[in-house]
Amino acid sequence: MTNYIERLKNKLKIKKFDSNQPIKAWLFVLILNLVGFAGYFYLKVNDISLGD
């Protein structure tokens, strides 16, 4: 049981960002996701359906 808890702690631990990661690409992906969610909620609030 203790081995399971230790493995779970290791998986949930927040890791440091790699300095070689392209920050601008990650920002683009994050902003694109935010725009997508905002559009989804806008369509739901205004009762607009894209399909049948």
pLDDT digits (tens, 9 = 90+) for 27-42: 999 999 999 999 999 9
Domains held by the chain: number: 1
40 occurs within a structural domain: yes
SS3 50: coil
14 occurs within a structural domain: no
For residue range 7-25, list pLDDT tens digits in order.
888 888 877 777 788 888 8
- The per-residue pLDDT for 52 is 60
Asked if pLDDT for residue 43 goes beyond 70, the answer is yes
- The per-residue pLDDT for 36 is 97
47 occurs within a structural domain: yes
15 occurs within a structural domain: no
Q: pTM for this one?
A: 0.56
43 occurs within a structural domain: yes
- The per-residue pLDDT for 18 is 73
The domain containing residue 38 runs over which residues?
Answer: 21-52
Residues in the chain: 52
User: Which H or E element spans position 36?
Assistant: helix 23-45
9 occurs within a structural domain: no
